[in-house]
Structure 1
Amino acid sequence: MKLTICGAAEQVTGSMHLLETQGYNILIDCGLDYEKDTYQEENQHFPFNPADIDVVILTHAHIDHSGNLPTLVRLGFHGQILCTPPTADLTELLLLDSVSIFLSKQQKKGRGRGSGPAPLYLQKHVMDTVERFVTISFNKQFKINDRISFHFVPVGHLLGAAAVILEVNENGVTKKIAFTGDIGRKNYPVLVDPEPLPQVDYLVSESTYGGKLHTTDSSLQEQLIKYIDETCLKYPGRLIIPAFSIGRTQALVFALNKIFSEGLLPRVQVFVDSPLAIFATDIYRKHHHLVNDEAKDFYQKRGDEFEFDELSYINDKRESLSISNYHEPCIIISSAGMLEGGRIQDHLYYNIQNYYCTILFVGFCAKGTLGDRLLRGDPIVRLRGRDLMVYASIRKTDQLSGHGDHEDLMNTVRTQNNQQLKNIFLVHGEQSRLLSFQQALQQEGYQVEIAKKDQVYDLN
Structure 2
Amino acid sequence: MKIAFHGAARTVTGSKHLLTLKNGKKILLDCGMFQGMGKDTDMLNRGKTTHLSFSGDVGRYRDVILKSPETFPQADYIIMESTYGNSLHEDIHSTIDSFLEWVERTCVQKKGKLIIPAFSLGRTQEVLYAFNQLSLENRLPKLDYFLDSPLSTSITEVVKKYPQYFNKTIQKVLQSDDDPFQFEGLRYIESVDESKLLNYRNEPCVIISASGMAEAGRVKHHISNNVENSRNAILMTGYCEPASLGARLLKGAKEVSIFGVQHEVNAEVGQIKSMSAHGDYEDLSQWLSCQDKQQVRKLFLVHGEYDVQQDFKRWLVKRGFPDVEIPEQHYEVGLG
* TM-score for the superposition, normalised by structure 1: 0.69
1:125-140 matches, cutoff 5 A:
none
Residue 216 in 1 paired to residue 91 in 2? Answer: yes
What secondary structure is seen at the aligned counterpart in 1 of 2:225? helix
Cα gap change, 1:352 to 1:140, in 2 (>3 Å): closer
The answer to whether 1:186 aligns with 2:61 is yes
Tell me, yes or no, if structure 1 residue 2 matches structure 2 residue 5. Answer: no
Amino acid at match of 2:128: V
Q: Deviations 1:184-230 (Å, cap 9, x if unpaired)? A: 11222322211222211111000001111112397111211111121
Q: Within 5 A, what are the aligned runs for 1:58-69?
A: 58=10
Show CA shifts across 1:296-346 (max 9, x none): 222221221122221111110000011123332211101111111210122
CA deviation after TM superposition for structure 1 residue 151, in Å: 2.9
Residue in 1 aligned with 2:316? Answer: 441
Q: Bigger shift: 449-458 or 330-339? A: 449-458
Q: Is the 8 A contact 2:17 2:41 kept in 1?
A: no
Measure the CA separation in 2 of the matches of 1:346 and 1:301.
Answer: 37
Say whether 1:175 aligns with 2:50. yes
Name the structure 2 match of 1:36. none
Contact 1:213–1:405 at 8 Å: present in 2 too? yes
Could you tell me which residue of structure 2 aligns to residue 155 of structure 1? 31
What does residue 335 of structure 2 align with? 459
Indicate yes or no: 2:12 matched with 1:84.
yes
- Look up the SS of the partner of 1:319 in the other structure: helix
Distance, in Å, in 2 between the alignment partners of 1:141 and 1:387 is 51
Using a 3 Å threshold, how does the CA distance of structure 1 residues 291 and 218 change in structure 2: closer, same or farther?
Answer: closer
Moved more, 316-325 or 192-201: 192-201
Rounded Cα–Cα distance in structure 1 between residues aligned with 2:62 and 2:53: 24
Distance (Å, rounded) in 2 between the aligned partners of 1:314 and 1:304? 18
Q: Which amino acid aligns with 1:238?
A: K
By relative contact order (CA 8 Å, sep 6+), the higher-ranking structure is 2
- Does structure 1 conserve the Cα–Cα contact (< 8 Å) formed by 2:61 and 2:69? yes
Shift of 1:163: 4.8
Deviation at 1:260, TM superposition (A): 1.3
Q: Secondary structure of the residue that 2:110 maps to in structure 1?
A: coil
Q: How does 1:219-298 map to 2 (within 5 A)?
A: 219-298=94-173
CA distance in 1, matches of 2:37, 2:287: 15
For each residue in 1:392-433, what CA deviation from the matched residue of structure 2 results, as whole angstroms up to 9, or x when unmatched?
A: 000011111111011111221222111111110110111111
In the alignment, which of 395, 405, 412 is matched to residue 280 of structure 2? 405
Distance 2:283 2:158 in 1: 27
Q: 1:217 to 1:342 in 2, by over 3 A?
A: closer
Q: For 2:12, give the aligned amino acid.
A: T
Q: Report if aligned partners of 2:131, 2:183 keep a CA contact under 8 Å in 1.
A: no
Listed as ranges, the gaps of 5+ residues in structure 2 are none
Residue 439 and residue 147 in structure 1: after superposition, are their counterparts in 2 closer, same or farther (change >3 A)?
same
Match of 1:423 among 287, 298, 323: 298
- 1:420/1:148 Cα in 2 relative to 1: closer, same or farther (>3 Å)? farther
Match of 2:235 in 1: 360
Please state how far the C-alpha of 1:161 moved relative to its aligned partner. 2.4
CA separation in 1, counterparts of 2:20 and 2:44?
A: 12
Q: What are the ranges of 5 or more consecutive residues in structure 1 without an aligned counterpart?
A: 7-14, 17-28, 30-57, 59-82, 88-137
Map 1:371-410 to 2 at 5 A. 371-410=246-285
**Counterpart residue number, 1:103:** none
